[in-house]
Amino acid sequence: MHTIEPFWNWRHLYASEEDPASPFYGVEHSEFEFGHAVYDHVIHPQWDAFGSQTLYLKILYADPASGTAIIELIGEWNDLLHNDIMFLKREVIELLMAEGLKKFILIGENVLNFHSDTDSYYEEWWEEVEEQGGWIALLGFRAHVLHDLAAADIDRFFVSGGSMNDIPWRTFEPEELVELVERSVIRRLGV
């Protein structure tokens, strides 16, 4: 896992550690010291910690003008033991929403598994973005993770599955990806 880096091709457009509105503003990343781990597997030092013991992220892009954030995740999403959604919602999402962001694209290719607990933070997040005309979309999540989200009835708070998992997101510029995902969201939600 230590060789899996966050996606870097958009760094010329956005870097969360350089954005004063980002929860990770001013964070300095080591290129050589590995300080974070998912259980006994160290992860690349460019991932950002937000309070979870097993889930890390990188804000790849945030644009207040379009109200959109693209966030890549890595690790185990474990609400049962670590209440990861609480940390994600309180330490990252709420700060981004305070800056006017209301459309969230979560990229989960590196989310290894999901363990559910309660849906209250998901429901709260969904209601808040929906009030502002926003949404939460999942891209690239593994089939078993999507299955576990559905089994916990949490998938109702996300636009996910189907063509969303087939989007070759790395081939797009962030604005293009947002437009593509938004068209899919509009078709599915009838917004």
Ordered domains of the chain (ranges, CATH): 48-189 (3.30.750.24)
Mean pLDDT on 121-141? 95
Candidates 160, 89, 161, 75; CA nearest to 118 is 89
Mean pLDDT on 110-115? 95
The secondary structure of the chain as a DSSP string is -TT-PPP-TTTTT--GGG-TTSTTTT----SS----EETTEE--TTSBP-S-SSEEEEEEEEETTTTEEEEEEEEEEEHHHH-HHHHHIIIIIHHHHHTT--EEEEEEEEEEEEE---SHHHHHHHHHHHHTT-EEEEES--HHHHHHHHHTT-GGGSB-SGGGGG--GGGS-HHHHHHHHHHHHHHHH--
Instruction: Give residue 11's pLDDT band: very low, low, confident or very high (50, 70, 90).
Output: very high
Q: CA-CA distance, 160 to 28, in Å (whole number)?
A: 33
Instruction: Give residue 191's pLDDT band: very low, low, confident or very high (50, 70, 90).
Output: low
Q: Is the pLDDT of residue 81 over 70?
A: yes
Mean pLDDT on 2-6? 83
Q: Which two tokens stand for residue 150?
A: 């559905």
Q: Is the pLDDT of residue 190 over 90?
A: no
- Identify the weakest region by mean pLDDT among 31-35, 77-81, 153-157: 31-35
- Any bridge partners for residue 135, and if so which? 103
Instruction: Give residue 137's pLDDT band: very low, low, confident or very high (50, 70, 90).
Output: very high
Contact 145, 158 (CB under 8 A): no
Sequence-distant (≥ 6) Cβ neighbours of residue 29 within 8 angstroms:
17, 45, 46
Q: Is the pLDDT of residue 1 over 70?
A: no
Amino acid type, 105: I
Higher pLDDT, 1 or 119: 119
Contact 159, 188 (CB under 8 A): yes
Mean pLDDT for the chain overall: 92
Sequence-distant (≥ 6) Cβ neighbours of residue 101 within 8 angstroms:
62, 63, 64, 67, 68, 69, 134
Output the pLDDT for position 121: 93
Mean pLDDT on 26-31? 86
Output the pLDDT for position 133: 93
Q: Is the pLDDT of residue 80 over 80?
A: yes
Higher pLDDT, 54 or 35: 54
